[in-house]
Amino acid sequence: MHNLALALHHKGYHVSGSDDAIYEPSRSRLEKAGLLPEQMGWHPNRITADVDGVILGMHAKPDNPELLQAQALGLSIYSYPEFIFKATQDKTRVVIGGSHGKTTITAMILHVMHYWEREVDFMVGAQLEGFDVMVQLTDTNEFVVLEGDEYLSSPIDMRPKFHWYQPNIALISGIAWDHVNVFPKEQDYNHQFEIFIETLTPGGVLVYNEEDEVLRAMVEKSTHSIRKIPYRTVDHFVDSGTTYLETSEGPLPLKIFGQHNISNLSGAMQVCQHMGVDPMDFMEAITSFSGASKRLQTLVNRPDKKVFRDFAHAPSKVLATVQAVKTQFPNQNLLACLELHTFSSLDPTFIAQYQSTLDAAERAIVFYDQQAVQAKGKQVPQTPTVKNAFQHKNVEVITDKDSLKSFLIKDSSSVWLLMSSGHFGGLSLSTILD
């Protein structure tokens, strides 16, 4: 939300906001712009009749006192995606959807556009190299590139975010059941993508990963009047820890790696073509792309030790990320450490989906913070249940950050992969990596 606040502030709007807690780097950025609230918490007196609109974050509660005040005053209340749509109705909307790879594909597209000095508006879910903000809204740019999340819009707008955007150009990277707290059945989750396809503007372009069987069948079944453009993973190989693309001009070295990232690259190239970027120009630009924040982010890169951080948390993402690192460093021992942090990952009916996701690693840790689990109102998983779910012969289940720290300090694996959408119970990684 703070990125949208900054974007509107930069456009000249008078912006204010509230939250019960604001963390870095959001806090510093808001403070620098003069937007940091004087007091944390919710204060109905901040909501007055002269407010033009209220944008409601998805984590607010339906009984939030400021929301109730806005409703009592009859103010215009928007979910985040609704506001983004209304602000971009006159632009060519490019929406990147899928259960995995959304942020990376969006980041790739923006990197290529930035490389060739083509200005576009955007909304992306991670900090990108070369970009000061994660949301940009102007009155002049033709294109807007949006990361299309399938989670709910707000507590009073229960439709998935990406149903709002009505894209002219869309991409779906793949479908793998997630958000079990909202979509308790796999078919319920998959149906959201069927709806998304139908939201494309008539005559629009859908770029889709034809290697995903569920997605391919879904796209082929749709009778919507759109152009359907399939993509698949381009040819590539790994040599001495570097991934190369096979091109007509010869091997092209990349800064990124992993089968899933090469697939993401293929999709991004198709989208960029429909935004007017020639494939060879795309290839030139993408060689300097090093990834989005916490997407196979390199924390340590020494001959004797390599450490990567990744946002992977859903089973399909965990599997792809572990396999990517092992493929890149096949002759080194890999320790894969996964934090169970989301509602889905902590759900006893869902955890079996993680079976074999860590198999490519020689050693594995599954971590969850007992206090964080209890704070979510979830029952703390039992160690035998977790071990049985993952089915890894060398898996350790750890439930407090001090034990995790001790384990990591003693571990001798030459490659670490740390995966979490959280913060490993507040563990300071610098105390281990230094």
Q: What is the pLDDT of residue 326?
A: 96
Which one has a higher pLDDT value, 376 or 43?
Answer: 43
Tokens of 224: 């919507």
Q: What is the pLDDT of residue 85?
A: 97
List residues bridging with 419 in a β-sheet: 310, 338
Q: What is the pLDDT of residue 413?
A: 95
Q: Which residues of the chain are in CATH 3.40.50.720 domains? A: 2-75
List, for residues 223-236, the tens digit of each pLDDT value: 999 999 999 999 99
Which one has a higher pLDDT value, 115 or 343?
Answer: 115
Q: What is the pLDDT of residue 422?
A: 84
Q: Is the dihedral of CA 22, 28, 29, 35 positive or negative?
A: positive
Residue 399: pLDDT band with limits 50, 70, 90: very high
Average pLDDT of 368-379? 77
Residue 317's alpha-carbon distances to 100, 151, 173, 311, in angstroms, are 6, 16, 12, 9
Q: What is the pLDDT of residue 41?
A: 93
Q: How many CA atoms lie within 13 A of 48 on its CB side?
A: 4
Fold of the 82-286 domain:
UDP-N-acetylmuramoyl-L-alanine:D-glutamate ligase (3.40.1190)
| Whether pLDDT at 37 is above 80 | yes
Task: Give the whole-angstrom CA distance, residue 48 versus residue 2.
Answer: 21
The torsion angle over the Cα atoms of residues 2, 5, 11 and 14, rounded to 10 degrees, is -150
List, for residues 81-124, the tens digit of each pLDDT value: 999 999 999 999 999 999 999 999 999 999 999 999 999 999 99
Pairing of strands 363-367, 395-398: parallel
Range with lowest mean pLDDT among 29-33, 362-366, 367-371 = 367-371
Task: Give the whole-angstrom CA distance, residue 404 versus residue 317.
Answer: 22
Most distant pair of Cα atoms in the chain: their distance? 65
In terms of CATH architecture, what is 297-433? Alpha-Beta Complex (3.90)
Sheet containing strand 236-239, edge to edge, reads 236-239, 242-245, 252-253
Q: What is the pLDDT of residue 433?
A: 85
All residues at 6 or more sequence positions from 127 whose CB lies less than 8 Å from its CB, including other chains: 25, 134, 292, 293
Three-state secondary structure of 295-345: CCEEEEEECCEEEEEECCCCHHHHHHHHHHHHHHCCCCCEEEEEECCCCCC
Residue 404's alpha-carbon distances to 272, 377, 427, in angstroms, are 43, 23, 8
Q: What own/partner pairs with CB < 8 Å and gap ≥ 24 does 46-49 have?
A: 46/16, 46/18, 47/73, 47/75, 48/73, 49/73, 49/75
CATH class of 2-75: alpha beta
Q: What is the pLDDT of residue 307?
A: 96
Task: Give the whole-angstrom CA distance, residue 184 versus residue 180.
Answer: 5
| Whether pLDDT at 219 is above 70 | yes
Element (H, E) at 112: helix 102-115
Q: What is the pLDDT of residue 376?
A: 66
Average pLDDT of 22-37? 91
Question: What three-state secondary structure class fits 195?
Answer: helix
List, for residues 151-204, the tens digit of each pLDDT value: 999 999 999 999 999 999 999 999 998 888 888 899 999 999 999 999 999 999
Burial, 166: exposed, middle or buried (Cβ in 10 Å; 0-12, 13-18, 19+)?
A: middle
CA angle, 150 as apex, 147 and 153 as ends, to 5°?
A: 90
| Phi, psi angle pair for 415, to nearest 5° | -130, 130
Q: What is the pLDDT of residue 129?
A: 75
Q: Which residues of the chain are in CATH 3.90.190.20 domains? A: 297-433
Average pLDDT, the chain: 93
Identify residue 262 by its one-letter amino acid code. Answer: I
Q: Which residues of the chain are in CATH 3.40.1190.10 domains? A: 82-286
The pTM assigned to this predicted structure is: 0.87
Q: What is the pLDDT of residue 353?
A: 92
Question: Residue with structure tokens 């929406």?
Answer: 95
Helix axes 259-274, 279-286, angle to 10 degrees: 140
